[in-house]
Amino acid sequence: MQNALQTRTVRVSDQVLIGSGHPIVVQTMCNTHTADVEATVAQCRRLVAAGAQMVRITVPSMKDVEALSAIHRQLRAEGIEVPLVADIHFSSEIAMAVVPVVEKIRINPGNFHPDHAKARELFGLFLERCKAYGRAVRIGLNHGSLGKYIVERYGNTPEAMALAAMEWIEMCIEADFYQVVVSLKASNTVVMVEAYRALVRLMQERGVVFPLHVGVTEAGNGESGRIKSCVAISTLLAEGIGQTIRVSLTEAPENEIPVAQYLARRYGIPGQAGNDVHAMPDSASKAVMPDNDRASREEAILKAACDWGAPLLNHEVDDIPLEDQHLKDEILQACRRRFYKPEYIACPGCGRTLYDLESTFNEVKARTAHFKDVVIAVMGCIVNGPGEMADADYGYVGEGHGMVTLYRKKDPVLRHIPENEAVDKLVALITADREG
Ligand code: SF4
């Protein structure tokens, strides 16, 4: 497959241009509370020092808009020019309010209003404002949170995600607004890869190809999270799909940067000939993992995931010749070719998270590892968690105030459980269902 996708270029700032012909832009997201300006500025400093080229910050309420503005001012006063991206869910009012404040705004226009016609109207006004201020926009649609209108009309498939995105893209073109990046994330790597490919086909047919922000959402943490991200992101980057990337991990966001940088280095400049396009791995990919040096083991893991991701996801091979059985199991499961443990979904957390997500996720993994053929989600907030956990069988969702709601599929089955009882109750719920 040729790495020859040509996209438009979006100018986020004088330093950050997103599009084919420009190096892949590495980005991440703060998980501090936005209202805590000092902590968020400190985290931005660390992320920029680690190599982040854009930093996203959640804006859950109108009160946080002023905090975002203070964060932006403080960073500029310190000479830190990293573009900030406001992460907005559900509120067109907040989306409009942040336009003067930051360089880029991430929205899902379908969530601007429950009435689709009204959502379109609000999105049109939002585009006018972004145009007036010269802002960039990411249209971010995630599998599992497509919205009732889209699911009823197109279903809940990769093609539906792409068609849903095209409606908003069409509105941008009609508004003569081209400062647009698009993402179609999913935690299911097969769905994610197919969604981006479908969108690229549709944009090519339309004759306008916007740059793509690529990532696997709710990938989890540790080696599993890194492998899941790499198999899918590398498959797309090898096809020239992915002008900016985020590796979402349920860890400190600083940890995401080396993984994203590995991918950005390996795949070079999207759309430029001579990159590391998809080819069958050579025998070096059988290498036994070094286990005495954390950094070289991590790099070897990333390499193996990138080497074998596309052949497995594309069904060009059914097995892989890795001697490290754990790594082999993880890569096969990340590509959804063989499941050796429960499938875990965990969001990376953000300023909406009100509990210790990472340690809870680790506890859930340790306590549920014996269940097979089950998808378990651990989500940071009740606002987006239930929608974003897509096809999870069970969900642990933080409500705030030390409380948790447990889900079976999309249904909340136990509400207001104190945090210190919630993992026990989750294990009991799964056990009872399997025994019953
Ligand atoms: Fe933040 Fe997780 Fe909620 Fe998404 S689901 S908004 S990452 S806490």
Quick: pLDDT tens for 136-174.
Answer: 999 999 887 777 777 888 788 899 999 999 999 999 999
Gap from CA of 346 to ligand 1 centroid (Å): 9
Residue 1: predicted pLDDT: 44
pLDDT classification of 282: cutoffs 50, 70, 90: low
- Please tell me the least confidently modeled range out of 268-282, 304-318, 334-348, 394-408: 268-282
pLDDT classification of 290: cutoffs 50, 70, 90: low
Q: What is the DSSP letter of 339?
A: -
What tokens were used for 27?
């980005």
Residue 195: predicted pLDDT: 97
CB burial class (10 A; 0-12, 13-18, 19+) of residue 319?
A: exposed
Mean pLDDT of 110-114: 90
Q: Which atom of ligand 1 is nearest to the CA of 87?
A: 6
Mean pLDDT of 209-217: 97
Mutate to test the pocket of ligand 1, among 183, 379, 405 (most ligand atoms within 8 A of CB): 379
Gap from CA of 278 to ligand 1 centroid (Å): 33
Q: What does the pLDDT look like over 87-102, one tens digit per residue? A: 999 899 999 999 999 9
Q: Evaluate if residue 275 carries a pLDDT over 60.
A: no
Q: Which atom of ligand 1 is nearest to the CA of 348?
A: 7
Residue 166: predicted pLDDT: 96
Provide the mean pLDDT of the chain.
Answer: 92
Instruction: Provide the 3-class DSSP secondary structure of residue 64.
Output: helix
The DSSP element (H or E) to which 250 belongs, if any, is none
pLDDT classification of 284: cutoffs 50, 70, 90: very low
Gap from CA of 293 to ligand 1 centroid (Å): 33
Residue 84: predicted pLDDT: 98
- CA–CA separation, 213 vs 260, rounded Å? 12
Q: By the 8 A CB rule, do 288 and 328 touch?
A: no
Q: Which atom of ligand 1 is nearest to the CA of 352?
A: 8
CB burial class (10 A; 0-12, 13-18, 19+) of residue 137?
A: buried
Mean pLDDT of 226-245: 97
Mutate to test the pocket of ligand 1, among 352, 389, 404 (most ligand atoms within 8 A of CB): 352
pLDDT classification of 2: cutoffs 50, 70, 90: very low
Q: Evaluate if residue 198 carries a pLDDT over 80.
A: yes
Gap from CA of 109 to ligand 1 centroid (Å): 17
Q: Evaluate if residue 199 carries a pLDDT over 80.
A: yes
Gap from CA of 227 to ligand 1 centroid (Å): 21
Judged by phi (left if over 0) then psi (alpha if -120 to 50, else beta), residue 134 lies in: left
Residue 270: predicted pLDDT: 67
Whose tokens are 């649609």? That residue is 141
Mutate to test the pocket of ligand 1, among 56, 142, 185, 384 (most ligand atoms within 8 A of CB): 384
Please provide residue 374's backbone torsions phi and psi, each rounded to the nearest 5 degrees. Answer: -145, 145
What tokens were used for 107?
């929205």
The gap from C-alpha 416 to its chain's centroid, in whole angstroms, comes to 28
Gap from CA of 61 to ligand 1 centroid (Å): 14
Mean pLDDT of 391-415: 94
Q: Evaluate if residue 360 carries a pLDDT over 70.
A: yes
Q: What is the DSSP string of 262-315?
A: HHHHHH-STT-TTS-------GGGGPPPP-S-HHHHHHHHHHHHHHHHHHHHTT
Percentage of the chain with pLDDT > 70?
94
Instruction: Provide the 3-class DSSP secondary structure of residue 137.
Output: strand
Mutate to test the pocket of ligand 1, among 216, 388, 397 (most ligand atoms within 8 A of CB): 388
Q: Evaluate if residue 3 carries a pLDDT over 70.
A: no
Judged by phi (left if over 0) then psi (alpha if -120 to 50, else beta), residue 65 lies in: alpha
Please list every protein residue whose CB sits less than 6 Å from any atom of ligand 1. Answer: 347-350, 352-353, 379-381, 383-385, 388
Whose tokens are 């926009």? That residue is 137
Q: Evaluate if residue 40 carries a pLDDT over 70.
A: yes
- CA–CA separation, 364 vs 426, rounded Å? 9
Residue 384: predicted pLDDT: 87
- What residue owns the CA closest to ligand 1's atom 3? 381
What tokens were used for 365?
């993994």
Gap from CA of 424 to ligand 1 centroid (Å): 23
Q: What does the pLDDT look like over 62-74, one tens digit per residue? A: 999 999 999 999 9
262-266 — which CB contacts under 8 Å span 24+ positions?
Answer: 262/230, 262/299, 262/302, 263/24, 263/230, 263/233, 263/234, 263/237, 263/302, 263/306, 264/23, 264/24, 264/25, 264/26, 266/234, 266/237, 266/306
CB burial class (10 A; 0-12, 13-18, 19+) of residue 205?
A: exposed
Residue 289: predicted pLDDT: 58
151/365: higher pLDDT: 365
Please provide residue 412's backbone torsions phi and psi, each rounded to the nearest 5 degrees. Answer: -70, 115
pLDDT classification of 57: cutoffs 50, 70, 90: very high
**Highest mean predicted confidence (pLDDT) among 133-147, 284-298, 305-319, 348-362:** 305-319
Q: By the 8 A CB rule, do 56 and 349 touch?
A: no
- Please tell me the least confidently modeled range out of 143-147, 190-194, 262-266: 143-147
Gap from CA of 349 to ligand 1 centroid (Å): 5
Q: Evaluate if residue 318 carries a pLDDT over 80.
A: yes
Gap from CA of 163 to ligand 1 centroid (Å): 24
Q: By the 8 A CB rule, do 234 and 306 touch?
A: yes
Q: Evaluate if residue 283 carries a pLDDT over 80.
A: no
Q: Which atom of ligand 1 is nearest to the CA of 380?
A: 8
